[in-house]
Amino acid sequence: MTTQTHNRRYTLGVLHGDGIGPEIVPASVLVADAALEAVGAAPVEWRELPLGFAAIESLDEATPKTTLTALAETDGWLLGPHDSAAYPEPFRSELNPSGTIRKHFDLYANVRPAKAFQGARAVVEGTDLVIMRENTEGFYADRSTYRGTGEFMPTPDVAIALGIITRQACERIAREAFELAMRRRKRVTIVHKANVLKMTTGLFRDVCQEVAQDYPEVTVDDFHIDAMTVHLVRRAHEFDVLVTENMFGDILSDLAGELAGSLGIAPSLNASQDRAMAQAAHGSAPDIAGQDRANPIAMILSTAMLFEWLGARHGDEQLTRVAALIERGVEETVAQGTSTPDMGGSAGCREFAEAVAATIKQL
Query: Measured between alpha carbons, how far is 275 from 313 in angstroms, rounded to an integer?
Result: 10
Cα 321–Cα 325–Cα 328 angle in degrees, nearest 5 = 140
**Does 60 qualify as catalytic in the annotation?**
no
Query: Measured between alpha carbons, how far is 252 from 189 in angstroms, rounded to an integer?
Result: 13
Residues present in the chain in total: 363
Buried b (16+ CB within 10 A) or exposed e, 312-329: ebbebebbbbbbbbbbbb
Nearest to 344 by CA among 246, 284, 267, 261: 261
Query: Measured between alpha carbons, how far is 296 from 294 in angstroms, rounded to an integer?
Result: 6
**Does 65 qualify as catalytic in the annotation?**
no
Q: Give the orientation angle of helix 21-39 with respect to helix 349-362, to 10 degrees.
A: 10
| β pairing state of 158-161 and 128-134 | unpaired
First to last CA, the chain: 29
Query: Measured between alpha carbons, how far is 355 from 345 in angstroms, rounded to an integer?
Result: 13
Query: Measured between alpha carbons, how far is 40 from 48 in angstroms, rounded to an integer?
Result: 24
Nearest to 297 by CA among 248, 255, 257: 257
H runs (alpha helix) in 183-245: 200-212, 225-235
**Does 206 qualify as catalytic in the annotation?**
no
**Does 193 qualify as catalytic in the annotation?**
yes
Q: Which of 140, 215, 222, 342 is catalytic?
A: 140
Q: Which of 65, 106, 214, 226 is catalytic?
A: 226
φ, ψ of residue 165 in degrees (nearest 5): -130, 125
Q: Which of 10, 75, 193, 316 is catalytic?
A: 193
Nearest to 18 by CA among 104, 80, 105, 107: 80
Q: Which of 18, 75, 222, 250 is catalytic?
A: 250
Contact 59, 50 (CB under 8 A): yes
User: Catalytic residues, which ones?
Assistant: 140, 193, 226, 250, 254
